[in-house]
């Protein structure tokens, strides 16, 4: 791993973490031209102040936007939740990039959505819009020519047009069925030009409406998992049934047989795991667990004679279990907190239906893969 680069001269740990007062207006008047010019930050502390001022300006824009949200935003979420088609998101420039992100957010929380580029729309992509679709149009000014050129068509051939703009006094707002205003914000850019505060507010409002609509539709973590089968999110939301060793590949024995016989019976099953699950012969519910560590302790202490005792006398009674349908992250937490290597999976009646083995969890974490039921069980049992 390369050594970390040294901190810039003049910016030590104390000064970097200390509160920095807001910068004075970095602009001055050019005496020759009479124009306002920017004075670039010269020292490390001044540059750090610029970074912090930008973040503070955008956070202030979010605070103001949150206070001005109205029932129109709620109505937009309700229309989105009731949409029977797709949500078509459009916008140009920076607002277009925000729109693309919002379309991705909508899709990930259960609302079919895709982005429609205004320039491509007038060259045939308007054919994507259907009567059951709801359109979201992003434009800070509400005067973007490319968006206005397709606004009337979008409203006519969709279920409705929602405009998300700075205010309601603009042509796009006039063309829409519903207007959600985000407020007018001075941009954090030192020239007051580059979209920063306005796009941050636009993104936050889009996310807020998308998430409210998902709650109205009762979108659950299980629904979320269906749309995120890959990566860290997929692993977090995987259920234990998808990665456990199913009962046909587990070591199981009645609890009333001798330890020696339990180990022999359990050894007849496929791949070896680190524990034998012991069941009540009467109802097949899980009554205990006997691990390889338990066996090793018997042998190390020269208690071989106890191998002929009933395993019920030596097993761990009422072992920690996890219910079928639980999330993998809960199983990992139990394994970590209890410092155990095997975790039986039981059904609602207490019967074992599988086993989570720590080695299988470690292999998943190491590979970075998110399992499908078939792929994990195939690799876990051979």
Higher local confidence (pLDDT), 140 or 358: 140
Higher local confidence (pLDDT), 373 or 157: 157
DSSP 3-state percent helix, strand, coil across the chain (nearest 5): 45, 15, 35
Cβ atoms within 10 Å of 364's Cβ, excluding its own: 20
Given a cut of 60, is residue 22 above it in pLDDT?
no
Q: Using the structure block, give the residue that is written with the tokens 């199913």.
A: 246
Given a cut of 80, is residue 326 above it in pLDDT?
yes
Distances (CA, A) of 251 to 298, 313, 357, 367: 19, 18, 12, 26
Which phi and psi angles does 50 have, rounded to 5°? Answer: -60, -45
Tens digit of each residue's pLDDT (9 = 90 or more) over 64-102: 999 999 999 999 999 999 999 999 999 999 999 999 999
Tens digit of each residue's pLDDT (9 = 90 or more) over 96-146: 999 999 999 999 898 999 999 999 999 999 999 999 999 999 999 999 999
In percent, how much of the chain has pLDDT > 90? Answer: 53
How far apart (Å, rounded) are the C-alpha atoms in residues 164 and 208? Answer: 12
Q: What is the mean pLDDT of residues 189-210?
A: 94
Strands 352-357 and 342-346: antiparallel
Q: Band of the pLDDT at 372, cuts 50, 70, 90?
A: very low
């Amino acid at each position: 791993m390369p050594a970390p680069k040294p901190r810039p001269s003049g910016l030590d740990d104390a000064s970097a973490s200390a509160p920095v007062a807001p910068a004075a207006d970095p602009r001055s008047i050019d005496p020759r031209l009479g124009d306002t010019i920017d004075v670039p930050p010269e020292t490390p502390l001044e540059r750090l102040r610029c970074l912090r001022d930008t973040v503070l300006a955008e956070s202030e824009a979010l605070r103001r936007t949150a206070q001005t949200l109205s029932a129109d935003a709620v109505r937009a979420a309700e229309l989105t939740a009731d949409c029977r088609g797709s949500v078509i998101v459009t916008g140009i420039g920076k607002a277009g990039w925000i729109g693309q992100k919002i379309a991705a957010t909508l899709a990930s929380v259960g609302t079919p959505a895709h982005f429609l580029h205004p320039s491509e729309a007038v060259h045939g992509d308007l054919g994507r819009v259907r009567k059951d679709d709801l359109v979201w149009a992003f434009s800070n000014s509400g005067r973007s020519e490319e968006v206005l050129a397709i606004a009337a068509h979008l409203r006519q051939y969709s279920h409705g047009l929602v405009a998300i703009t700075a205010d309601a006094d603009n042509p796009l707002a006039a063309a829409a069925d519903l207007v959600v205003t985000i407020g007018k914000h001075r941009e954090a850019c030192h020239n007051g030009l580059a979209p920063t505060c306005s796009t941050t507010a636009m993104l936050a409002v889009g996310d807020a409406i998308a998430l409210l609509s998902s709650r109205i539709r009762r979108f659950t973590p299980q629904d979320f998992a269906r749309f995120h089968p890959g990566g860290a999110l997929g692993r977090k939301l995987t259920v234990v049934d998808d990665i456990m060793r199913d009962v046909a590949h587990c070591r199981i024995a009645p609890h009333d047989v001798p330890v020696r016989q339990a180990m022999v019976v359990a050894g007849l099953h496929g791949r070896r795991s680190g524990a034998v699950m012991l069941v009540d012969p009467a109802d097949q519910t899980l009554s205990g667990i006997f691990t390889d560590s338990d066996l090793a302790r018997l042998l190390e202490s020269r208690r071989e004679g106890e191998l002929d005792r009933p395993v019920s006398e030596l097993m761990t009674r009422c072992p920690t279990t996890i219910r079928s349908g639980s999330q993998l992250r809960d199983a990992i937490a139990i394994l970590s907190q209890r410092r155990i290597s095997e975790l039986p999976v039981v059904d609602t009646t207490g019967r074992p239906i599988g086993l989570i083995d720590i080695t299988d969890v470690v292999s998943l974490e190491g590979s970075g893969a998110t399992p499908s039921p078939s792929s994990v069980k195939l690799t876990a049992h051979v």
